[in-house]
Amino acid sequence: MGIYRDRFVPRLVNVACGMKANEPLRERVCSGLSGRVIELGFGSGLNVPYYPATVTSVSAVEPADLGWKLAAGRLAQARVPVERAGLDGQRLPFPENSFDTALSTWTMCTIPDIDAALAELRRVLVPGGTLHFVEHGLAPDPKVQRWQHRLDPLQQRIAGGCHLNRDIATIIRAGGFEIRDLDVFKGQGPAFIDSQSLGVAAAA
């Protein structure tokens, strides 16, 4: 499992998350980011081309070394300084009030203890700092939800710990964030994997 996770999953993520259909979503979710940004689950840097000019620096948190290597081309073109500053969203190596905004794209499905990661994000964001997110998760339709619960163990095995059935808005609110903007929609893929929540939440 170690070799699969280390050598294969980051490539799978680079291809699956790099789909053209995701590009307008990346543009939407990155708009409004500003100042010092923390990006949770940087992956292979697919958001780098979408950081707006209002961003002054990005601290990337990503456990996969291969993801970071696959990001090299995008990092070379980056318009703002980006550093790999942490390895685990559940334990952030930054003091309180270090960041103005935070970004998470298709990462809350995978972090094992997502409640701990949100508590950490709140700690390192300035009061009122915003979390910009686009995440797949639990579909609104109970029939789809049943399939999501059934397929979740398999998905976790093949996709590096990714869950299909996390209720993103509920998790974010329980983490002490106030959701200011939320768009829940089905993407172009099958509903069990493509029920998306895109929005902005403020650290309450």
Ligand X SMILES: C[S@@+](CC[C@H](N)C(=O)[O-])C[C@H]1O[C@@H](n2cnc3c(N)ncnc32)[C@H](O)[C@@H]1O
3-state secondary structure the chain: CHHHHHHHHHHHHHHHCCCHHHHHHHHHHHCCCCEEEEEECCCCCCCHHHCCCCEEEEEEECCCHHHHHHCHHHHHCCCCCEEEEECCCCCCCCCCCCEEEEEEECCCCCCCCHHHHHHHHHHHEEEEEEEEEEEECCCCCHHHHHHHHHHHHHHHHHCCCCCCCCCHHHHHHHCCEEEEEEEEEECCCCCCCCEEEEEEEEEC
Beta strands 35-40 and 99-105 are: parallel
Stretch that binds ligand X, among 28-36, 40-48, 123-131, 196-204 (CB under 6 A): 40-48
Distance of closest approach, residue 87 Cβ to ligand X, in angstroms: 7
Distance of closest approach, residue 6 Cβ to ligand X, in angstroms: 10
Within 70-99, which residues bind ligand X (CB under 6 A)?
A: 88-90
Q: For ligand X, what does the binding mask look like between residues 98 and 137, x meaning CB under 6 A? A: -------xxx--xx--------------------------
Residue 18 or 128 having the CB closest to ligand X: 18
Distance of closest approach, residue 107 Cβ to ligand X, in angstroms: 4
Distance of closest approach, residue 170 Cβ to ligand X, in angstroms: 20
Stretch that binds ligand X, among 30-38, 61-69, 121-129, 140-148 (CB under 6 A): 61-69
- With binding defined as CB under 6 A, does residue 199 bind ligand X? no
The binding site for ligand X (CB under 6 A) comprises 13, 17, 40-41, 43, 46, 61-64, 67, 88-90, 105-107, 110-111
